[in-house]
Amino acid sequence: MNISVHAEADLNAVGHNDLANAVRFLAVDAIEKSQSGHPGLPMGMADVATVLFSRFLKFDAANPNWADRDRFVLSAGHGSMLLYALLYLTGGDIGLDDLKAFRQWGSKTPGHPEYGHTPGVEVTTGPLGQGIATAVGMALAERMANARYGDDLVDHFTYVIAGDGCLMEGISQEAISLAGHLKLSRLIVLFDDNGISIDGSTSLATSDDQLKRFAASGWSVRRVDGHDPEAIEQAIAEERETAAPSLIACRTVIGYGAPGRQGTEKAHGAPLGTEETAAARRNLGWDYQPFVVPSPVLKAWRMIGQRGQVEHLAWLDRCERAEAADRRQVPDMGAVALPAAYAQASAKLRERFATERPKLATRQASQLVLDGIASAIPGLVGGSADLTHSNLTQSKTQHPVKPGAFAGDYIHYGIREHGMAAAMNGIALHGGFIPYGGTFLAFSDYSRPAIRLAALMRLRVIHVMTHDSIGLGEDGPTHQPVEHLAALRVIPNLLVFRPADAVETLEAWDCALAASDRPSVLCLSRQALPTFRSDARGKNRVSQGAYPVVTPDGGRDVTLIATGSEVSIALEAARLLATEHIRAAVVSAPCFALFEEQPEDYRAKVLGTAPRVGIEAAVQGDWARWIGVGGEFVGMCGFGASAPAAVLYREFGITPQTVAAAARRAVARVNEGK
């Protein structure tokens, strides 16, 4: 569908100022109506955004998920009304009523942009720095897809609007360093360089020269007047041709046009008020009532939203021709489906583990899983934060992604855990790949903000976190996670797995890969664990969250519930108790979240009515809900220490003997109460 000459004439008849002011005042009016929001950024960056959307951005407003569209990330998510105004004006799935319901219950226009909630929003932003870091993953995914499918089918840019806050956050350094190293030339950051933060001038807290900082990381940089549309256009056009990622520092005035507030922190995070809004209208010559966009201006914006249809249809035509030649050469930028070859590879591994019953660390079992499945899932992309040979995250068939060489499927993220987690979110958001990345479980704190956003956005991102307990031994308490399992388990929509042997490790991978709408964390041991499962063709028990490993004949006197490396301790404790004629059931609970989702009758059957003992080499956290009133917990109540693993388990009292003693106490209390 081509735009008519008449339509192009309509578009050219409307000047830049009117286009930009439509953005400004829709934002101002929505914020004023809700009496909540941030007018400063939409007013200050309206000129930059108007140039980007009207002259460069490749998108089709009627099809916001078109695979080869340019990605636009509003990293400074507090300025969400800038994006909502643009989506409305260009004809996206946002109406005036949605703008009028800004920040209200059930609206499409929440306080910060939310992926999956508002069509056209590419990523959930708000926590500063996350947007720019996620965009690095998007830009990397574009280059990786391009290396696989070629320029005809994958050829788009990732644009970011970021503010001072985004660049002050530490994650931004990890992100820009990685992007510069990889030479992600299709990434362009438009920096809202207004010199103002909530407290006042940014000079209160920072003296960084951002251009020098980005240049030192290998970026192409320049500064431009953010209110000069021709200068902005020239800067973007030239940066699109560079061989490096680009930073364009757009010198803007926060709250541009509001005479009593512009250029000050007062324009940042509060409505302008009736008088100041009226003054801004007079100052910028916008003589229209709230939420009114004159017909010629709206028509021009709608033409901007439709122009991408031409490129979209041409892309679809190229895809049809490619499919006719070879279906495998057509990019699928949606959720990656698990092919039949994966199921076959998984079944083969399960047979091997169940038959051989190896004694090995679950991180080693994970390595074997990856060796077996990586080549069966073309979209699987691994990586590690400089711990590849400790996390064991690179399969034998995977090859590294390098600067300018993006056909590989393994990413060396460097010592950038937070940046890695955010980049994996971006890779998943881009589509066409399933990302996983490794670090130590103790460092999950560095990744946690991005993990939380992955859960909020319902992304299939897999974190492989090894060295999951005091069992890592001599590296000591700085590296021994004790509170991290509990901290991760409280994040909604996150699957936290702690498998106990090789079979459970395979099943945990199966669950994580099948969970297309939530992220997973695989918590894996450094120390070797015996394989107690021998069911080669049975049900995936990890998918049930918890299940009985030992069920005594004639009923149970006590139930021992354990995770990971402590399941083998529980099994030995059950054997000790059996010599005393105490019948102990043993339950492995590799994933609390999945167990909670099981039917109530299943959970009741697994847990039983006998007293319970929970065993985990970590702090108690939410174990109380599973062990119940009168239950016992055997675990950690403080930090670890530096010593061999066996010594640590003995000294901290996580042994079969201490578990058996706890079971005796629990049983005795029940007997005393009868």
Could you give the CA distance from residue 144 to residue 410 in angstroms, rounded to a whole number?
11
For residue 202, which of 166, 229, 233, 256 has the smallest C-alpha distance? 166
User: Beta strand 380-384 with 187-193: parallel, antiparallel or unpaired?
Assistant: unpaired
DSSP 218-281: T-EEEEEETT-HHHHHHHHHHHTT-SS-EEEEEE--TTTT-TTTTTSGGGTSS---HHHHHHHH
Q: Which residues pair with 559 in a beta bridge?
A: 585, 612
Could you give the CA distance from residue 423 to residue 172 in angstroms, rounded to a whole number?
11
Which residue pairs, CB below 8 angstroms and at least 24 apart, start in 276-279? 277/28, 277/29, 277/32
Could you give the CA distance from residue 175 to residue 116 in angstroms, rounded to a whole number?
24
Which sign, positive or negative, has the C-alpha torsion 501, 506, 507, 511? positive
**Max Cα–Cα distance, the chain, nearest Å:** 92
Query: Which residues have C-beta within 8 Å of that of residue 19, sequence separation ≥ 6?
Result: 50, 54, 297, 300, 301
Could you give the CA distance from residue 299 to residue 514 in angstroms, rounded to a whole number?
45
Query: Hey, how many other C-beta atoms are within 10 angstroms of the C-beta on 554?
Result: 6
Query: Which residues have C-beta within 8 Å of that of residue 515, sequence separation ≥ 6?
Result: 460, 495
Q: Which residues pair with 247 in a beta bridge?
A: 189, 221
Buried b (16+ CB within 10 A) or exposed e, 43-59: bbbbbbbbbbbbebbbb
Specify whether the CB–CB gap between 19 and 303 falls below 8 A.
no
Query: Hey, how many other C-beta atoms are within 10 angstroms of the C-beta on 496?
Result: 27
Could you give the CA distance from residue 195 to residue 376 in angstroms, rounded to a whole number?
50
Could you give the CA distance from residue 519 to residue 459 in angstroms, rounded to a whole number?
6
3-state SS assignment for residue 622 = helix
Could you give the CA distance from residue 450 to residue 7 in angstroms, rounded to a whole number?
43
DSSP 68-103: TSPEEEESSGGGHHHHHHHHHHTT-S--HHHHHTTT
Q: Give catalytic residues, as residue numbers.
A: 417
Query: Which residues have C-beta within 8 Å of that of residue 470, sequence separation ≥ 6?
Result: 480, 482, 617, 636, 640, 641, 645, 648, 649, 652, 654
Token readout for 508 is 């945990």
Specify whether the CB–CB gap between 50 and 56 falls below 8 A.
no
